[in-house]
Structure 1
Amino acid sequence: MNVQPPGFIRSPELVAFGVSYASDPDAAVQQVVEQIGVAGHCFVLVFVPDSLDHDRVAQALNRSLPKTPAFGCTTAGQITPKGYQNDALLLVAFPRRHFRCSSTLIHPLKPLSIEATALQARTLAERFQKTANWNRFAVTFADGLSKQEDILVAALDAGLGDLPTFGGSAGHGLAFDETLVLHGGQFHADAALLILVETDLQFAGLEFDHFMPTDRQLVVTEAQPEDRIVTEINGSPAAREYARLVGHDVSELSPRVFAENPVLVRNHDTWHVRAIQQVVDGQSLAFLSAIENGLVLTLGRGKAILETLEAELSGVGRNGHVPDFILGFDCVLRRLEVEQNQLVAEASRILSAHRVLGFNTYGEQHRGVHMNQTFVGIAFFSPGRADLS
């Protein structure tokens, strides 16, 4: 039985989902489990709002779904059938008829050995027996405050080779205080989880943002890479130089200013956002992605975020085939920009129309790169449509 809450015009047919706004963790879990049922699931993904006690959520899931692996994380917001939400417990159930999985917990993340982590990923893949004519991909969730995602993604890329990997960093609203991943029936800090998934469905990866590079460059002239803190840009105090370039005083720098004036780094022919988290001690800038001395950053200029969202989600299909649903990892800074420009209702309409389910992250991972202010996702199609990308 799959009693789903209202939201989508047409609900996904290939997965079940449950949403609860209950403030009590036990009641919330009971409601989402009633919506998805207890039988036939290969695994469930669980996205927890900052309003719920995560440990009680895990305990309730262990009682309600004792035979179903549950993976997930704390979030900076959820993407439900109604679009953007702040206080929703979201559970997505992947049925055994279409999915198989194997998982491992990577802990601790600090320090992280690239060689050992690559071996752990490679061993998991080798031991996960292949099913003829099924497709494979990997999903990762990582502690969003570990400052290790860049190294983690590089290690997983080395271990998994050409296997497509998609992921998001756990969040906790805008508190930036504690972020956790769910594996083995409990939540873990300083950890990441890797899930290998096999499916008989066709799927396509998504990755997009809404920024273009300008001609204004910022050279990191002094930094603390291990802490992702930049102390100097262009030979001047970092916060003051960034504020000058974007036309603000240091006192005016805020998540809104950072979201609307991102800095980009070039990787071959692709630009990725290196998001600024906050001002430190009135002089330095803390980042959400890797930085280093000598790194050349370029100030970004935004395009229309809603037009980009609609175009990218609409463009994932081919030959008239549209996804049954999209699993989405959307940066909290993108959502913050949407909120600050009073575009939440329209953005939520677009997400709902394209049947996106997922969460708002502290960072996104795709194709061996950790990035920010980006939407990363997996679009799933009905079986047998081999003409899809």
Structure 2
Amino acid sequence: MLEIQQGFSSNPDMASAIKEVVHQIQQDEVKFVIFFSSTKYDFQQVSKEINAAFEGAEVIGSTSAGEIGKHGFSNHSLVAMSISSKDWIASTVIIENIHSKPMLYRKNVIQAFEKTGLNRNDPALHQKSFGILLVDGLQAAEEMVLSVIHSIFETDQFPLVGGSAGDDLKFAETYVSANGKVYNDAAVLTFVKTSHPFCTYRENIFEPTEHTLLITKADIRGRIVYEMNGMPAAEAYASKLGIPTANLAEKMETYPIGRMYAKKVWISTPFKILDKGAIQFYSQIFPNTMVSILKPIDPVLVARETVKNIKAQLPGVKGVIGFNCIVRLLQFQKEKACEKVYQELSDLGEVVGFTTYGEQYGKVHINQTLTMLAIGE
């Protein structure tokens, strides 16, 4: 039997907030706890106390740029989820030095996976296990971390979801936590083996326009695109939107870039315009890639379709862990859609998550997306 509990507190007193959340998620035989905390709280202390309250469980968490819980999309709060089951084996690994040397931790990743008792080459692996990944959101290293993780598998189908830690839009320091210890310049990865049904899902609130661009010059590691269609990137981008280049910065988040793969859209959000019309993105784009300019669609209708699709895959869904991009949240706030979107998603049971500085789905780091792990009975 699978039991899921969620907790929420926005109590300004940190000790009280931790106590409230721990009380709400206490249950017998807790195997896994995940929590997300505003930086208004001392993250070291939050991590230490939540871990101490759940001896024997794997406990992971991160700082956030907003939280998702029983009160919908919130800010300056603490949320958590606990999972109790006799059929749940979890193993956590910390990948450090992610901005420069994450490959040095490949062996640790393998060892953590093997602790679950699974075979990395099992063709049915995607039906038995999944990964949850929390990454320091200010190192621009998500793609390197994902490369290390997926290098241990022969299959391309290993299900993984996650988010990049936030810090309430301070863009100063973000942190991840594993079993009471706090890290930055690091990623925390938990492998789970279970026979409980689950699915991963990626929600997209954009669709392609007729405007396409060819990436003709780019710095992959720096996430910088210098040229599109042989022109300075900003000039080419603006011309497709029919606006002056000087006005592009205010439009980029509304009309981001989509990399098309397997008839699906993978979003890369522009970060800022650099000298000579170069554009830096929040995720990597490779040279010679054809991309589409995207346009927004109704997020409430998309959320409704998300619930329908997840329930079709997982009729007994009991809870969801979600990773929602900060740019999406800002869009929801602007459109006064936060409550309506959450009301749709809450039909999936216990919903806990956080507002991220980027999202992970399978082998890919993306932006302006909601990635989710849904778990059922």
Q: Which residue of 1 aligns with 2:300?
A: 306
CA RMSD of aligned residues (A): 2.8
Moved more, 210-219 or 261-270: 210-219
The one of 129, 149, 153 equivalent to 2:146 is 153
Query: For 1:259, what is the secondary structure of its paired residue?
Result: coil
Q: Which residue of 1 aligns with 2:109?
A: 121
Q: How is 1:262-341 mapped onto 2 (pairs within 5 angstroms)?
A: 262-280=256-274, 283-318=277-312, 321-341=315-335
Q: Indicate if the aligned counterparts of 1:250 and 1:282 stay in contact, CA closer than 8 A.
A: no
Moved more, 285-294 or 342-351: 285-294
The one of 29, 34, 40 equivalent to 1:51 is 40
Query: In the TM superposition, what whole-angstrom CA distance separates every residue of 1:186-221 from its partner, at most 9, and x where no partner exists?
Result: 221111111111223211221220222223223334
Q: Which residue of 1 aligns with 2:219?
A: 224
Q: Which residue of 2 aligns with 1:352?
A: 346
Q: Indicate if the aligned counterparts of 1:25 and 1:60 stay in contact, CA closer than 8 A.
A: no
The 3 A distance-change label for structure 1 pair 379 and 68 is closer
Query: In the TM superposition, what whole-angstrom CA distance separates every residue of 1:284-330 from its partner, at most 9, and x where no partner exists?
Result: 42211112444332101222221111111122123993411122122
Q: Aligned pair 1:86/2:83, yes or no?
A: no
Q: Indicate if the aligned counterparts of 1:274 and 1:288 stay in contact, CA closer than 8 A.
A: yes
Moved more, 273-282 or 83-92: 273-282
Q: Which residue of 2 aligns with 1:72?
A: 61
The 3 A distance-change label for structure 1 pair 252 and 14 is farther
Query: For 1:110, what is the secondary structure of its paired residue?
Result: coil
1:105 aligned partner, one-letter code: I
Q: Indicate if the aligned counterparts of 1:310 and 1:350 stay in contact, CA closer than 8 A.
A: yes
Structure 2, unaligned runs of 5 or more: 120-124
2:220 aligned partner, one-letter code: P
The one of 174, 191, 212 equivalent to 1:179 is 174
Query: In the TM superposition, what whole-angstrom CA distance separates every residue of 1:80-103 from its partner, at most 9, and x where no partner exists?
Result: 112211122011111143422111
The 3 A distance-change label for structure 1 pair 39 and 262 is same
Distance 1:271 1:381 in 2: 27
Query: For 1:125, what is the secondary structure of its paired residue?
Result: helix
Moved more, 212-221 or 142-151: 212-221
Moved more, 338-347 or 273-282: 273-282
Distance 1:345 1:333 in 2: 16
The one of 219, 233, 238 equivalent to 1:238 is 233
Q: Indicate if the aligned counterparts of 1:26 and 1:60 stay in contact, CA closer than 8 A.
A: no
2:78 aligned partner, one-letter code: L
Q: Which residue of 2 aligns with 1:368?
A: 363
The 3 A distance-change label for structure 1 pair 86 and 319 is closer
Q: What's the offset of the Cα at 1:223?
A: 3.3
Query: In the TM superposition, what whole-angstrom CA distance separates every residue of 1:62-87 from its partner, at most 9, and x where no partner exists?
Result: 45445543201111221111221112
Distance 1:92 1:375 in 2: 18
TM-score (norm 2): 0.87
Q: Which residue of 1 aligns with 2:97?
A: 108
Structure 1, unaligned runs of 5 or more: 1-11, 383-389
Query: In the TM superposition, what whole-angstrom CA distance separates every residue of 1:338-364 from its partner, at most 9, and x where no partner exists?
Result: 111121221121122333221122222
Q: Aligned pair 1:30/2:19, yes or no?
A: yes
The 3 A distance-change label for structure 1 pair 284 and 326 is same
2:200 aligned partner, one-letter code: G
Q: Which residue of 1 aligns with 2:122?
A: none
Q: What's the offset of the Cα at 1:118?
A: 4.4
1:152 aligned partner, one-letter code: V
Aligned length, in residue pairs = 368
Q: Which residue of 1 aligns with 2:202?
A: 207
Q: Which residue of 2 aligns with 1:137?
A: 130
2:207 aligned partner, one-letter code: M
The 3 A distance-change label for structure 1 pair 35 and 340 is same
Q: Which residue of 2 aligns with 1:3?
A: none
Distance 2:292 2:315 in 1: 37
Distance 2:195 2:314 in 1: 20
Q: Indicate if the aligned counterparts of 2:267 and 2:369 stay in contact, CA closer than 8 A.
A: yes
* Identity within the alignment, %: 26
The 3 A distance-change label for structure 1 pair 264 and 88 is same
Q: Indicate if the aligned counterparts of 2:223 and 2:280 stay in contact, CA closer than 8 A.
A: yes
The 3 A distance-change label for structure 1 pair 282 and 84 is farther
Q: Indicate if the aligned counterparts of 2:7 and 2:70 stay in contact, CA closer than 8 A.
A: no
1:141 aligned partner, one-letter code: L
